[in-house]
Amino acid sequence: MSRNKNITLIKGEFETEEAKDILRNLLDFKIRFHQIKSFNSELKYGEKDARSQARILELKESMQKMLEIMEEAEENGYSLNIDAKIEIEFQQQKTKDLEKVVITQ
């Protein structure tokens, strides 16, 4: 079994507004995912999830960069060819120390 898998997420030529909608929705979804993850961490452990907070900042920077690209393409009358793939690599799971529960009758 191969330890690497690829999935095509987006492929094709798009008008700038269509490309902007697709990419904005994708980035918005990822930002919301990390906001919820961080909020849940805050409720459960009393502190925000640091990795999610850092990822939110990265995603917001990517959103700004994407919007600048869309603006440039639109101003110059370009359509956009987008080819986005997801690369999945199998990793050994990190095991957490679990307490063993012994049930006696």
pLDDT digits (tens, 9 = 90+) for 50-72: 999 999 999 999 999 999 999 99
Amino acid 2: pLDDT: 81
Residue type, 2: S
Residue type, 52: S
Token pair, residue 24, equals 């904005």
Amino acid 103: pLDDT: 56
Lowest-confidence segment of 5-14, 73-82, 96-105 by average pLDDT:
96-105
pLDDT digits (tens, 9 = 90+) for 6-50: 999 999 999 999 999 999 999 999 999 999 999 999 999 999 999
CA distance 50 to 57: 11
Find out whether 52 and 37 touch, Cβ atoms under 8 Å: yes
Amino acid 30: pLDDT: 98
Find out whether 12 and 82 touch, Cβ atoms under 8 Å: yes
pLDDT at 104 over 70: no
Nearest in space to 82 (alpha carbons), one of 96, 100, 66, 98 = 66
The residue ranking higher by pLDDT, 14 or 2, is 14
Contacts of 28 (CB under 8 A, 6+ apart): 63
